[in-house]
Amino acid sequence: MRHKTGTALRTASLAKPIFQPTTDFIMTENLTSNAIIYAILSLNSEIALQKEFLESSEEIEQEDLENEEGILADLEQAFMEFIDLYKNRLKKDKSLPSIEELLNSEL
């Protein structure tokens, strides 16, 4: 079941870009700090799960392995984009927790 979901996500991500260049600024300005925080925490957890899945699955076929590694790369890219957004928010709002505090907290 994990593979089928991952395949759908990977295929969808290859079909079109997540963010359109003309709407990036508008979209990020509309995101609340809480939405960015939850996205970061969720992506961080999903990355850990994907890594665990890849490390524990000894019998993954090569094609499936490449697909699952691609999913991991997509998750890591999205995570870094949200980290960049959060860094910009930190500059504007000093009351937000640091990235280190955020990533070391438990949900």
Query: What pLDDT sits at residue 90?
Result: 95
**pTM of this prediction?**
0.71
Q: Domain 2-10+33-104 carries which CATH code?
A: 1.10.287
Instruction: Choose among 84, 82, 17: nearest CA to 46.
Output: 82
Structure tokens at 2: 């994990």
What is the distance of C-alpha 46 from the center of its chain? 7
Domain boundaries, the chain: 2-10+33-104
* DSSP code per residue over 4-60: HHHHHHHHHHHHS-SS-TTTHHHHHHHS-HHHHHHHHHHHHHHHHHHHHHHHH-TT-
Query: What pLDDT sits at residue 15?
Result: 45
Are the C-beta atoms of 70 and 55 separated by less than 8 Å?
no
Query: What pLDDT sits at residue 61?
Result: 87
Q: What is the mean pLDDT of each run of 10 residues along the chain (107 residues)?
A: 45 47 56 94 96 88 91 97 96 94 81
